[in-house]
């Protein structure tokens, strides 16, 4: 198991990648601290982990990461329960409304930045002290292909992720001397509830079959299929694991080859 004996905080637990991160980390041996605003979803994921991996410990901490009091409470609760924080996976985000830039509502953007950027960075800042005390740690930023392969209408979302890219690089430089690694995984299309819902909505709106909508997506993916969100979660587990102990400042494309650099 890649993460045996580790304690991992995962933000943004929800349908799709968020819950799959929790399942993959539990499968690979980590105790998991589940954070998101919706307590019922946290309980659902914790129940599934208990069913599949009863030896894993879970801690549920409902958290709005845009509230600095709540991010500190999350980290404090983790240390109180487990004595340390080995891994932080920053998966929480709030995209602004998808519009063309000249129609953007910047109040909407600010709310997105409060969660995706400042909330993520506040939570990251809060885990640094216990990681420094331990002399090690791994921070994984879940990023997006959107800032690498721009699509019209998604400038707000892309700029939030762009800010996190730069932040992760700076943190890798600053925290490396303390044994804390910081890496980013750039996700593309991921098959799970959100993308399935998108495909079904597009099919209904255009009168096309779901197969045609999927084919329009996969034509740009060399592997020929939409990667499953659980497979994408494996990339975060790799960065969190000791297999990546000499990797920091890394930026890994996890998108079936749709974007290559």
Total domains, the chain = 2
- Domain membership of residue 97 (yes or no) is yes
Does residue 122 lie within any of the structural domains?
A: yes
Are 157 and 222 in a shared domain? no
DSSP state of 102: G
What pLDDT is recorded for position 59? Answer: 98
Q: Does 234 fall in a domain?
A: yes
pLDDT of residue 4: 97
C-alpha span between 81 and 66 (Å, rounded):
23
Inside any domain, residue 90: yes
Rounded to whole angstroms, the Cα distance separating 165 from 126 reads 19
Q: Are residues 171 and 107 in the same domain?
A: yes
172, 202: one domain = no
117 falls within a domain: yes
CA gap 173, 51 in Å, rounded: 40
Q: Is the same domain home to 206 and 240?
A: no
**Residue 210 has what pLDDT?**
93
What does the pLDDT read at residue 194?
Answer: 85
259 within domain boundaries: no
The reported pTM is 0.95
Q: pLDDT truncated to tens, each residue of the chain (261 aa)?
A: 899 999 999 999 999 999 999 999 999 999 999 999 999 999 999 999 999 999 999 999 999 999 999 999 999 999 999 999 999 999 999 999 989 999 999 999 999 999 999 999 999 999 999 999 999 999 999 999 998 888 899 899 999 999 999 999 999 999 999 999 999 999 999 898 888 988 998 899 899 999 999 999 999 999 999 999 999 999 999 999 999 999 999 999 999 999 887
Together in a domain, 208 and 239: no
Residues 50 and 167 both lie in one domain: yes
In DSSP notation, 157-222 reads HHHHHHHHHHHHHHHHHHHGGGTEEEEEEEE---BSHHHHHHHHHHHHHHT--HHHHHHHHHTT-T
Statement to judge: residues 185 and 244 lie in one domain: yes
Catalytic-residue membership of 157: yes
Which one is catalytic: 23, 113, 157, 198? 157
**H helix count then E strand count, the chain:** 9, 7
Are 14 and 39 a contacting pair, CB within 8 Å? no
CATH number of the CATH domain containing 94: 3.40.50.720
Domain-located, residue 261: no
Residue 160 forms part of a structural domain? yes
Q: Whole domain around residue 201: which residue ranges? A: 191-226
> Quick one: 110 and 196 in the same domain?
no
211 and 120 share one domain? no
| Rounded Cα gap, residues 190 and 187, in angstroms | 7
Looking at the fold, whether 84 and 205 belong to one and the same domain comes out as no
Residues 132 and 198 in one domain: no
Please indicate, yes or no, whether residues 173 and 197 belong to a single structural domain of this protein: no
């Amino acid at each position: 198991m890649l993460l045996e004996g580790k304690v991992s905080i995962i933000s943004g637990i929800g349908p799709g990648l968020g819950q799959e991160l929790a399942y993959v980390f539990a499968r690979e041996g980590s105790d998991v601290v589940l954070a998101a605003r919706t307590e019922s979803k946290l309980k659902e994921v914790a129940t599934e982990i208990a069913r599949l991996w009863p030896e894993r410990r879970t801690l549920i901490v409902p958290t709005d990461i845009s509230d600095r009091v709540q991010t500190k409470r999350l980290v404090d609760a983790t240390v109180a329960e487990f004595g340390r924080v080995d891994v932080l996976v920053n998966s929480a985000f709030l995209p602004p409304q998808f519009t063309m830039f000249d129609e953007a509502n910047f109040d909407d953007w600010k709310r997105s930045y409060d969660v995706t950027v400042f909330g993520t960075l506040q939570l990251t800042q809060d885990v640094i002290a216990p990681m420094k005390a331990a002399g090690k740690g791994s921070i994984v930023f879940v990023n997006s292909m959107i800032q690498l392969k721009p699509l019209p209408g998604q400038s707000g979302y892309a700029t939030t992720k762009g800010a996190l890219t730069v932040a992760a690089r700076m943190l890798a430089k600053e925290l490396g001397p303390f044994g804390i690694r910081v890496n980013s995984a750039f996700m593309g299309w991921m098959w799970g509830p959100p993308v399935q819902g998108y495909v079904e909505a597009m099919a209904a709106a255009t009168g096309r079959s779901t197969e045609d909508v999927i084919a329009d997506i996969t034509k740009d993916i060399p592997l020929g299929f939409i990667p499953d969100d659980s497979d994408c979660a494996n990339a975060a587990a790799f960065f969190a694991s000791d297999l990546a102990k000499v990797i920091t400042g890394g930026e890994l494309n996890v998108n079936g080859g749709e974007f290559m650099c």
